[in-house]
Every structure is written in structure tokens, then in C-alpha cells.
Amino acid sequence: MTNVLFAAGDKNWDSYQTPLKQAFSAANLDIDLRQDHDPAETDYIIYAPSSDLQDFSPFRRCKAVLSLWAGVEKIVTNQTLAQPLCRMVDPGLTQGMIEWVTGHTLRYHLGIDDNLASQNGEWKPKAAPLARERRVTILGLGQLGQACAKMLAGIGFQVTGWSRRQKDIEGIICLSGDAGLKTALKTADILILLLPNTAETENTLNAETINHLPKGARLINPGRGTLIEDAALLSALDTGQIAHATLDVFRVEPLPQDHPYWAHTKVTVTPHIAAETRAITASEVIAENIRRGEIGLPFLNLVDRGAGY
């Protein structure tokens, strides 16, 4: 019997209890899943950073902490965490992100906002260029960034991707480093932010980097609110350096009602809905990692503590 502690809150327990048990059964795992295991007897922890559990030192037997969140910035620096930490890479979350990013990229590409705003009886035909004539840049080529890049390239967009470490992805122009970032920004008719939240990525889009964008570029941010220097973005929107921004994530959530983004005519706010973890598919990922741990295989999606993701 393998003891698994669910330390992700009562609300998540209601959503995950049945899917997890089904996933464990499908993987032929004999699991005792509870919210109250003795730390000395716990083999794995299913975790959300919002959990009351913040001290991992009593869990000396624990083989891994399996996060339900894709982002791990709220746990990776915990000094009591000595166990391997795995972030959530959920196929359902990935597919949701692909659909959201593709939808908003096509919205900008096809000029859908302009069409909706011009329902005034005037007949002004204006067709969008083909996707191959539109340059899209994605900052961040992790699991989500790569998935979105491949989808957009498949539609026909010219896709450039930038990451801290050099990547090689078929059909994508891959850049890295400071010089690569400048080049990536200069080729961004539409810029998509999918970087992780680390000290190095904070304010990646700031007054200086915004000026590398083509004038009138569009911005899509489903990544992290900390990637953008808000004052610099608002200024760029007012000058027309950035024509429009679609923002799904923010430094403070829910976004305060008096925040300038709400009233700005060149900003679309969505309430952190680009992608979410699905209980059924996430449970299958958790079960697979426990299966691997029990037979001595490497864990999936193991976090690099030094890099922070």
C-alpha cells in the first residue's frame, strides 16, 4: 500500500478525489489517498501552493511532492522542501492554452475587433493578409510555448520563439540570449508571453524592450503578470507603440476594479482563463508519476531548483 497525502485544499479534494482514485486504479496502483496521513508514513504529497502545508521537514519518507499547478514559484524556494518537486504538465491545460492563444492570435490577425467596431452601415472591404505574411513571436519555449508555436506555425504564421536556453524546434525560428531577444521582438507583429515567473523574467516587457517591437504590435499575455512592467505597457498603448494588449494574468488577482487596464480602450482583460488544470487529465499525470516512482523510473516534469521551474 502506497500512502498519498492530498494537501491541496478541501475544494480541490472535492474535484480530485474521484478522478485520482480512477487514475490510480487504471494504473494498477494500490493507493491509500487521504487528507490526513501521518507525515512519517507518507510516500507522496499531492500539493497546491495555496495549501496550509508549508513545512515539509517531517515528511522524511516522502519520495516526491507532486504539484497540481504548472507554476511552482510559490513553493520552489521553500527551504524545508528537500523532496523532489514535480510541476503539473497537464494535457488538458496544454490544449486549453493552445486554443486560447490561437483564438486571440487569429482575432488580431483577422481584424475581428475592427469588424465588430464598424457595424455602422459603411461597406469597406478589407481582407486580412495570409498567415504566412504575419510574424508571431513567442517568448518562452517550455511545454506550453512549444505547443502554441507548433499550432501557429501549422496554420502558416511565421513563428519565432525565444527562450533563455537555446532550443531546436522544427518549423520555428529559435533564438536565445540578449541579442536573440532583441531580434525576436523586432519580428513580432503579434507578441505572446509564455515565460515562467522567475527573478530573471520579471519585467521582461519594459520601457526598453517595448521599443524593439514594430510600432503597432499586438500583445497577448497568458503567462505571468510579472512579465510586464505595467506603467511601461500603459504608456506604449497611449503612444500607439503597442496597438492593443490582451491580458489574462496580472500581478494582483483578481485585478482591482480601479486598475487602469479595465477602462483602457486598447486593453482586453480576461480573468485568468487561458488555461486551467483539468482534474481528469491531471490525475492521470499524478498517477503516472507515482507509478514511475514506485518502479524506480525518473519522475516526469521534475523542477530544476536552480532555474526555478
Task: Find the catalytic residue in 87, 164, 218, 224.
Answer: 224
278 catalytic? Reply is no
Grid coordinates representing 142 are 517550455
DSSP secondary structure letters along 175-221: EEHHHHHHHHHHT-SEEEE-----TTTTTSB-HHHHTTSPTTEEEEE
Task: Find the catalytic residue in 212, 259, 272, 278.
Answer: 272
Residue in the structure block whose three cell numbers are 488555461? 275
Handedness of CA 180, 107, 275, 253 (dihedral sign): positive
251 catalytic? Reply is no
Q: Provide the annotated active-site residues.
A: 224, 272
